[in-house]
Chains A and B, each alone.
Chain A
Amino acid sequence: MVLVGVAVGGALALVAILIPWLPPADSTQAHKVDDVYWFVTIICMAIFALVAGVSVYSVWKFRAGPEDLDDGSPIHGHTGLEVVWTAIPAALVTAISIYSGVVLTKMEEIPKDHRIVQVSGQQFTWSFQYPEAKVTSGQLTLPVNQPVELKLSARDVIHSFWVPEWRVKKDAVPGIETNVIVTPTKVGTFTVICTELCGLGHAAMRAKAVVMTQQGFDAWLRLQKRLATLGGSAQGKTLFTQQCGTCHRLSDAGTTGEVGPDLDKVLPSKSADFIRESIVNPNAEIAPGFRPGVMPQDFKDKLSTQQLDSLVEYLLKTAGKA
């Protein structure tokens, strides 16, 4: 029995170590989560090895022949054993609880001089606002090794912010503000994934998260500021990538969404008025093969007149022409 248990335990340990179960850990929070993960894994492997050892041994050792009509030993219980298998699991889960509680508190400590980014989820796109620079972007850009507080909000339904390599996740809930504390520790490009079912485009609701050096981040922020003041079709392109690209294909913007119609195909030959009407009142005319009600109907509230103008100008100029 002990042999079976040790064999199962050894096999489990190999499975746990040889297969990379977790993605790379690229934030200080991620390392803390992984510590808890391994702590729980060691306990669970021990318990599973014990259970597997006893059951495999029993099933083999105590199997009855086909004509065997005898009964087993009439053992009704054993108080000592029952106390042991109540007390030890209770102690183990208490240990896991305490460790998890301590780690949770550390993960969510807010350092004094931290940056704040407003994260807004809407069907089916993320936007990131940098209040001190008055800049909004469709890409989350952060400097490496700097703590940041992401303040999450949602415009329509619940979304959930997740970057697997950072091990942080929190729902963005309409009506309230939630937050995520994270300190990315590695320069690189990651994916923000929406993990709460939010409608038809849920599977496509992704954003890019880019971690840069401090100098790179400062330069990026300056560039965004300048872009925001340009207006016209340059602003239209930025808006399009942020708000529309998840669902619509447009080769000029390099977006490949398939939830809504391919704009390279449906927009050429259309007038500016038609494009404007299709944005503010999407159900007015539905492209063949699509359903009414899929596209959010509140862009007339979300976009300013000037933003709408630049978006229409951009689409008129580029659709089907790249």
Chain B
Amino acid sequence: MAVQVREHEHVETHGPPPRRGWRRWTAGGWLRVLWVVPLSFAFATGLVIGARKGFGYEPLWDLQVLLTAWLVIVPLGFLVAIGGFDYWAYWVSGRPTRPEDHSGHGARSWKDYFRVNTDHKVIGIQYLVTTIFFFLAAGLMAMFMRAELARPGMQFVDNNTFNGLFSVHASLMIFLFVIPAFAGLGNFVIPLMIGAPDMAFPRLNALSYWLLPIAGFIMLSSYVIPDGGAFAAGWTNYTPLAVQQPVGNVFFQMAVQWAGASSIMTALNFLVTIITMRAPGMSFWRLPLLVWANFATSTLVVVATPFIAGSQFFILFDRVLHTHFFTPGPEGGYVIAYQHIFWFYSHPAVYIMMLPGFGIASEVIAVFARKPIFGYRLMALSLMAILILGFSVWAHHMFVSGMSSWLRIPMMVTTMLIAVPTGIKVFSWLATLWEGRIHFKTPMLFALGFVSMFVIGGLSGIYLGSIPVDIHASDTYFVVAHIHYVLFGGSLFTIFAGIYYWFPKMTGRMYNEFLGKLHFWCTFIGFNVTFFPMHWLGLQGMPRRVSDYADRFGNLNFVISIASFFLGASTVIFVYNMVVSWRRGAPAPSNPWRALTLEWQVSSPPPIFNFDEIPQVVGSPYEYGVRGARHAVMNGDRAEAPEPEKVTVH
């Protein structure tokens, strides 16, 4: 390993000479995008029109068929043009592939963030900035929804726009924010944490990032479709409504394919990286819990994501090819089959959106409580238990769907059991605080906020897991409250914790602590006033996904809307803090939090290949307060190092 790293040092500046003149237009990059994307657009259009003319279909100009072709071919053209496939194209065509070419690795100026880059640290930041953009867009849609819901009756938007708002809001938040934001944090941190120079497949990593803006662009651009507007069947896109919807629905089906392909590629990369690229001495029982969490998450992604891809392809076929997978009739489609396939992904997706957050919370709580994480092995094993149980609970979303009634009780039992490993994690975090020395920096505030909010989300999950209560509460605002306590109070709080925690490492600058704390308290208060009353609304009789509601819910909805605007405004503090601190923040030391994990043992930001020499791991990453304990030996200072000892965890 060490030898390989030294090789990197002297080839770092080598690369192909920059192309000159007209040849700049054929090199991978934005100039090539300028002409390849219109070309692929024309090609897709010609293909459809030509085929329809050839087969004699009327009318020639069918928007839905054209959209399907465009949304497959144009993104591929974009990926080719930006240079995502260049290396493989060279290899396939037998041209020299320059295996030691690192010209596309690392960022020397801001421009390097806008091209295909193979450095996991650059990709991590590309991911995070992109996902925060979509987070703000989706948050703005929530503001429009709350404005409409502030009073009963119709105020600002019509029903079609409203249905589009909540559908696109949820889809962006799930597929373009929570899942890829965790992938971005993992991308930046995992190779550093396990002592690797980069991910196992850097070119695949670059490609998986560039699929993401495509998916987000497709979801947003469904708003510009003149005929019917954005997709409006909810992010669950249940058939037959999805098939009956205007053409905007195709945007959802195709965006999910691109976002899903991106997640699968990243997850494969994480798995191979974690399994094969750990530094010497980094056994599985010495892995930081964030790495464990991403190991479990990536397994979930690889196994589950193809199911949502399949479900959306079948809907696309039902729409475009007039198959009858899910539409009832003489050809024998079965409506509820869609829901089974959809939730077979989308329930594990809840854990895809939660387990990395568990990992972040474990890192942050141990560091800021200055204590070893309580019950390390059980913490890791409970992640694996959630991974396995997570595949056996999907139909609890379908207790009132009319599915086979015998399936409900077993699904309730597994749903209830999954509370046990989740409980273990919460209790272990609390025990980690016990007799600690707790420093309330912004990441710790968000981590503690996460634990308390996630407990509420978990407990309301027990209500929904019990079939009799679920029969009353499903598809109401109680569910809206529950998922926001889990995904906002859970996932989003840990994403904020992670961004603040690693901000010094990523940018080499400190964020503003006062603004960070202000952001936390505004978010925490705004969040609770917005979402807690929704439990009551749901139990009392307000269904979800409605633009209008009974007059008696008017006052409470007004309060909720005001609180949600406050919550939305708190995000401005976050964005301001990030932008200003990145440009003008105080320079960050290499280890501002006095943490033991490996990413803090290198400079901020880290060197281009992470470690001058691959570290030797000698102990647990959480030995705070243990005299003389070390996690790793850096840069060959083995003289001071104690003998590698066997890790003893209670």
Contact = CB atoms under 8 A, between A and B. Distances in A.
Interface in B419-445: 419-420, 423-424, 426-428, 430-431, 433-440
Interface string A150-192: 0010001110101010011111111110100000000000010
Interface stretch (B53-61, B302-310, B454-462, B516-524): B454-462
A78 B466 contact: no
Interface string A21-57: 1110000000011001100100110011001101100
A227 interface: no
B41 interface: no
A36 B238 contact: no
Interface centre among A47, A94, A201 (most CB of B within 10 A): A47
Nearest to B333: A175
Given A36-B469, A58-B430, A291-B228, A174 B436 contact: no
Contact of A197 (B238, B375, B472): B238
Contact of A63 (B234, B440, B459, B626): B440
Interface of A: 19, 21-23, 32-33, 36-37, 40, 43-44, 47-48, 51-52, 54-55, 58-59, 62-64, 68-79, 81-82, 85-86, 89-90, 93-94, 96-97, 100-101, 103-104, 107-108, 152, 156-158, 160, 162, 164, 167-176, 178, 191, 193-204, 258-259, 291, 293-294
A96 B430 contact: no
Contact of B541 (A76, A164, A173): A164
Contacts of A258: 154
Interface in B524-570: 535-536, 539-541, 543-550
Contacts of B625: 71-74
A77 B369 contact: no
Contact of B246 (A63, A196, A293): A293
Interface of B: 154, 159-160, 163, 228, 233-234, 238, 240-241, 244, 246, 327-329, 333-336, 369-372, 374-378, 400-402, 405, 408-409, 412-413, 416-417, 419-420, 423-424, 426-428, 430-431, 433-440, 448, 451-452, 455-456, 459, 462-463, 465-469, 471-472, 474-476, 535-536, 539-541, 543-550, 594, 623-626, 648-650
25 contacts: A21-B535, A21-B536, A21-B539, A22-B539, A33-B468, A37-B463, A51-B426, A59-B438, A62-B434, A68-B437, A69-B594, A70-B370, A73-B371, A75-B371, A75-B431, A81-B431, A82-B375, A89-B423, A157-B238, A162-B543, A176-B335, A196-B475, A197-B163, A197-B234, A197-B545
A171 B238 CA distance: 12
A71 B459 contact: no
A184 B439 CA distance: 57
Contacts of B536: 19, 21
Contacts of B159: 200-203, 259
Given A22-B539, A158-B241, A85 B546 contact: no
Contacts of B448: 55, 59
Contact of A77 (B378, B452, B455): B378
Contacts of B543: 162, 193-195
Contacts of A293: 228, 246
A197 B228 CA distance: 17
B420 A197 contact: no
B163 A200 contact: yes
A68 B474 CA distance: 49
Nearest to B550: A191
Contact of B240 (A59, A158, A176): A158
B371 A40 contact: no
Contacts of A201: 159
Given A76-B650, A199-B163, 5 more contacts: A21-B539, A44-B459, A58-B438, A169-B472, A199-B241
Nearest to B409: A101
A203 B435 contact: no
A191 B541 CA distance: 10
A171 B401 contact: yes
A74 B409 contact: no
A169 B335 contact: no
B462 A171 contact: no
A126 to B, nearest CB: 14
A158 B335 contact: yes
Given A55-B433, A96-B416, A164 B472 contact: yes
A173 B154 contact: no
A76 B622 CA distance: 9
Nearest to B413: A97
Given A77-B375, A203-B547, A48 B456 contact: yes
A90 B420 CA distance: 6
A74 B623 contact: yes
Contacts of B378: 77, 82, 86
Nearest to A201: B159
A68 B439 CA distance: 9
B343 to A, nearest CB: 14
B430 A51 contact: yes
Nearest to B535: A21
A94 B416 contact: yes
Contacts of B455: 47-48, 51
B469 to A, nearest CB: 5
B537 to A, nearest CB: 11
B374 to A, nearest CB: 6
B433 A100 contact: no
Contact of A44 (B372, B434, B462): B462
Contacts of B465: 96
A89 B439 contact: no
A37 to B, nearest CB: 5
Contacts of B423: 85-86, 89
Contacts of A63: 438, 440
B163 A75 contact: no
A97 B412 contact: yes
Contacts of B440: 63
